[in-house]
Structures are given as structure tokens and as C-alpha cells.
Amino acid sequence: MPATPVGLASDAPAPVAALDLVALTPAMAEVLRRAHVFAPAATPVVLHGESGTGKTFIAEYIHRVSGRDGGFLPFSVGVVAPQLALDELFGHVQGAYTDARKVRPGRIATAGGGTLLLDDVQNLDLGVQKQLLQVLDRGTYSPVGSDRVQTVACRVILAMAEDPGELVLRGLLLRDLRYRFGMCDIRVPPLRERRAEIPALAQLFLDDCPRVKQLDGPRRFSAAALSLLLEGAWPGNVREMGGASARVSGGARCRS
């Protein structure tokens, strides 16, 4: 049976199975509202929020409710050396440079007609950001070493750990790139702003422990354990709480 996001309006498109979204606070209800507004469009969307808040999860949710053909491809550009960024994004043709012994498709081509999530965009060199902007504007690109123009089939979602306006002021994000996605941005709130959701989120993590972590333990939280979770500071946000849920629940009894 498809999972139903808590707090989602009844007239919103139905999500696919296995994507349980919790929205018990106004902040997360706004995230889901904007996700459903932007999902059918082809325009780029920006997700911004602290590390661990669930930006990749929200991006995949947007992809799945969009009805797009193809898969969801997340890619962190923050771990790519500047000189390799264009190759990773656009690919290259044989002979493009010394070690280019065969054609290599980039992430844009690999994403096909699906959705490409580019995480940590603020870490891209501004020159690369400018070329990415041109791709988003024209809907076309050329692999490194080639003059052949190819069409972008995927939908692009950009993710960053800070407000895009602040990143522009600090010189980390191209101003024109910020203008390109206009108002199509979603702020994903930190866990400290959505504490009412902690019990439901913790239960989702606990329910998933047998499959994901191969843990054999309790199926419900004690009052004491839940109190510990509710009082946590959670600087690592939802990602941190996922690990803590298993530990607090007695997940030391591990089968493997």
C-alpha cells in the first residue's frame, strides 16, 4: 500500500510506496506543498538546508511524484576536483585529452529522462557554474572535446547547505544562476525547528532497522528512550537521528 505523507493535503498527488514523509509542522507542510507545486514542471529546483536535513530524500520525492520517465541520480559535485567537474557533468569523447581512450558519458547523459540531483553546487568553480547555467538556459550541451550538441533530457535539481542569497553575497554562487531558478527553491528546515516530528521519524527509522541495518531489537520506543530523542540537540539533523534511533532502541543485538 502506498505510503501517505502525514499532513499532506488530500488533493495532492499520491506518492509511491516506500517514501514515508512526515509533515507534522508548518515548516515541513510548506516543504511538501512546494514540492508538489514544482514537481510537474521542467524548471530546475533548488533545495537548501543544513547537512542531514533530508535534501536528497526530498529531491527523490519530487522526482517520484513528477511522473518523469527514468531514474533518480544523485551526484555530489562537492567531492569533484575543479578540473574534472566538466568531464563529470558533460562526459568526453575519445581523444579529448591524453587519458581519454574511449567515450565516457557524463552525469547529464546518464540521468536520461529522469532527475539529476547536483548536491553541494556552491563548491563548484564559478566558471563551471557559468557553463552549467548555459546548459540550463539552452537545454543543450557538448561533451568535452566535442562540437556535437546534445539535448538535456533530465530534470536538474540543485542542492546546497546554505541560503542561495547568502551564497551569492559570499561569492560562492553565481548570481545569474540564482536568478535562473527564480522562486523555485525549497528550504528544508533543521530538526530543531520540527521537534514535533521526532517521534514519528524515530519510529520510521526503527521500523526500517531489520531491513537496513539487520538489527533484531524492539519494535517500539520506551518512554525513557523517546524522551532522550526529544531532548537531543541534533546538530546532524535527521541523518544523525537515524543512527541514534537504532542505538537508543537497543540495536546492539545485531545479527551480522
Domain ranges of the chain: 43-189, 192-248
**Does residue 34 surpass a pLDDT of 70?**
yes
Could you tell me which residues come within 8 angstroms of residue 53 by beta carbon, excluding any fewer than 6 positions away? 188, 189, 190, 191, 237, 238
Could you tell me which residues come within 8 angstroms of residue 94 by beta carbon, excluding any fewer than 6 positions away? 100, 101, 102, 103
**pLDDT tens across 119-147, in order?**
999 999 999 999 999 999 999 999 988 88
pLDDT for 13 equals 36
pLDDT for 218 equals 67
DSSP classification of residue 43:
S
**Does residue 61 surpass a pLDDT of 60?**
yes
Q: The pTM is what? A: 0.83
**Does residue 188 surpass a pLDDT of 50?**
yes
**Does residue 211 surpass a pLDDT of 90?**
no
pLDDT for 251 equals 45
Average pLDDT over residues 7-11: 38
User: What CATH number labels 43-189?
Assistant: 3.40.50.300
pLDDT for 104 equals 86
